[in-house]
Amino acid sequence: MASENLVEFTDANFKAETQEGWVMVDFWAEWCGPCRFVGPIIEALANEYVGKVKIGKLNVDIHHKTAMQYRVMSIPTFILFKDGKLVETIVGAQVKDQFKAKIDKYLTVKA
């Protein structure tokens, strides 16, 4: 992965990596055209949200246990977690501003 801020999620590290704070996971696969389209957007978001949201990718072909657990039926699928709890699922490719609007909506809510 190109960005040092982009997390590589696996079946083994998923629970630990999503337990604390805001986390956005991109469920993707190499063969998926729309996944390749949003790849650079996800990398840019990972760099923009350093210290606010942990952002990374999970390859569903390799780590299918986690994808099945969250009922990921179409890719790309993006799941936003807060302290290990699923907050929102986004299915399908989005442009950067759409992702930012979704993320910012939650970051601006006072807990």
Give the active site residue among 23, 35, 41, 45.
35
Give the active site residue among 32, 42, 53, 72.
32
Q: Quote the pLDDT of residue 2.
A: 52
Across 77-87, b (16+ Cβ under 10 Å) vs e yields bbbbbbeeeee
Residue 32 appears among annotated catalytic residues = yes
Residue 8 appears among annotated catalytic residues = no
pLDDT tens string 37-72: 999 999 999 999 999 999 999 999 999 999 999 999
If phi > 0 it is left, if psi is from -120 to 50 it is alpha, else beta; for residue 71 that is left
Share the mean pLDDT of the chain: 93
